[in-house]
Amino acid sequence: MKQINSPSLRENSIKKISMSKILFRLNGVSEDEIEDVRELLTEHDIDFYETPPGNWGISMPAIWVKEEEQFDKAKALLDAYQSERSMRVKNEMNRLKQAGEQKTFIDMFKQNPVNFILHLMVSLLVIYLSVRLVSDLAQ
């Protein structure tokens, strides 16, 4: 039997495999915040990609960092951004409240009464059916 002299596969193929990591889940996040995060990562040359919610909304929408080495930097940038955004939104809410321009329950009703009543009726129907089910099961 002839022996083949070649470098071992192990020596030639040792590479550090970098796995993508989730940086930011996009469930319930406003489009302007998502755009801000995209711009932030692009400005700092962080390689990322985005996964959409999918056709039926069962996939996890998120922003992923491609290179594991960049994750800590991206996370620090995102934490700083979110802290700044939180302060900005709180200040805006306080300003609106002091100016008397904060959106109230009555404002939502005035803005779209049909939609409001429809949601209220569906909510009451769910409550009624839940109470009815429990009372029927109790008997």
Instruction: Kindly report the pTM of this predicted structure.
Output: 0.62
Asked which of 1-5, 53-57, 115-119, 126-130 is least confident by mean pLDDT, the reply is 1-5
d(CA 95, CA 89): 10
What does DSSP assign to residue 57? S
Helix (H) / strand (E) containing 126? helix 113-138
Strands (E) located in the chain: 21-25, 48-51, 62-65
- Which one has a higher pLDDT value, 78 or 15? 78
CA distance 104 to 130: 29
Its CATH class, for the domain covering 14-102, is: alpha beta
Q: In degrees rounded to 5, what are phi and psi of residue 45? A: 55, 45
Q: Which residues contact 58 (CB under 8 A, 6 or more apart)?
A: none
Q: What is the pLDDT of residues 44-101, one digit of tens each?
A: 999 999 998 888 877 889 999 999 899 999 999 999 999 999 999 999 989 988 888 7
Residue of 52, 46, 49, 51 lying closest to 76 (CA atoms): 46
Residue with tokens 């991206």: 74
pLDDT of residue 105: 78
Sorted by where each begins, the domain ranges of the chain are 14-102, 104-139
